[in-house]
Structure 1
Amino acid sequence: MPHFEVTTSIAASPRRVFDVSLDVGVHTASMADAAEQAVAGVVSGRLRSGDEVTWRARHFGVWWRMGARIVVHEPPEYFVDEQVEGPFRWWRHEHRFAPDGRGGTVMRDVVGYAAPFGPLGRFAEVAVLDRYLRKLIVDRNAHVGAVAEAGG
């Protein structure tokens, strides 16, 4: 199954970055290009262990819905969200936060997923999805970093 990792350095404490990363409003702002919105479950505030949210967004010109649940929540080091309904056969996103030794954070995202539709889905994973999803995470992390570094 495909997976990738993205590492981002942020000049804010791991606790701050952890909290910002779980904020529904920060997430939707980070995905503005896809017009992403929380439409069911927890639709505002900070997600916690066991919380579910359903996102609606436009990717590849098509509207999609994806429900996710926070299945692991260990502040401020680690949380995991998994798809409970949506476009993937499965989706798991690990978020890890470690001190960088200078007062900041090394944020590491590990994303595993599988596309539906058998061989056609596997082709899409290699041809399109890996690069597209990696860019979504990089862009999201830039936004999370800007918010976390701004404080408040």
Structure 2
Amino acid sequence: MPSFEIVTHVMAPPERVFDISLDVDVHTASMAGSSEKAVGGATTGGLKLGDTVTWQARHFGVRWRMTSTISAYDRPGCFVDEQVSGPFKHWYHAHFFRHHGHGGTVMSDVIEFAAPLGPLGRVAETLVLRHYMPELIRVRNQYVKQVAEAPFTAG
């Protein structure tokens, strides 16, 4: 089963980065390139333990739907989203947030996934998904970083 980790350094406190990472509206904006939007479950605002979202997006010219749930939640250290139904045989995405010097955060995304369709799915994993999926997460994380590092007022 393919897995990968993406590490992003953000100059904002972990609590802020954690909350932004769970915001449906931020996620939607970060995935504008694939026209991703929430069409079921929690469709706006911040997610919490047990929430589900059905996402609709267009990848490779095909419209996809994936319902995921927040299966673990420990603010501000980590949360996990897992596919309940959708295009993958398996999707597990753990998000970790830890302090690093001068008020910043190291954000780590650890993802495990498996394509459906047995041997054909393994070919898709090897030829396409093992490159496409990390890039998709990098794009999302750069948007999260941009939002988190924007000036804000505490309160």
Task: Please indicate, yes or no, whether the TM-score normalized by the shorter chain is above 0.5.
Answer: yes
Matches within 5 A, 1:132-143: 132-143=132-143
Q: Quote the offset at 1:110 in angstroms.
A: 0.2
Paired residue for 1:65? Answer: 65
**Structure 2 residue aligned with 1:106:** 106
- Structure 1 residue 151, shift from structure 2 partner: 3.9
Mapped to 2, the partners of 1:110 and 1:57 lie a distance apart of 21
* Aligned residues: CA RMSD: 0.6
Q: Distance in 2 between matches of 1:131 and 1:100?
A: 28
User: TM-score, structure 2 length as denominator?
Assistant: 0.97
Q: Alpha carbons of 1:26 and 1:45: their partners in 2 closer, same or farther (altered >3 Å)?
A: same
- 1:1-152 aligned at under 5 Å gives the runs 1-152=1-152
One-letter code aligned to 1:121:
G
What TM-score, normalized to structure 1?
Answer: 0.99
- Matches of 2:75 and 2:123 in 1, distance apart? 37
- Quote the Cα distance in structure 1 between the aligned partners of 2:96 and 2:124: 27
Detail structure 1 runs of 4+ shifted over 2 Å in the superposition: none
Question: 1:98 and 1:30 mapped to 2: Cα distance?
Answer: 22
Hey, what's the Cα distance between the residues in 1 that align with 2:29 and 2:78? 22
Deviations 1:15-50 (A, max 9, x none): 000000000000000000000000000000000000
Deviation at 1:130, TM superposition (A): 1.1
Amino acid at match of 1:54: T
Q: Which runs of 5+ in 2 are unaligned?
A: none
Structure 1 residue matching 2:28: 3-state secondary structure: helix
Deviations 1:94-147, CA, capped at 9 Å, x for gaps? 000000122100000000000000001001101100110000000000000000
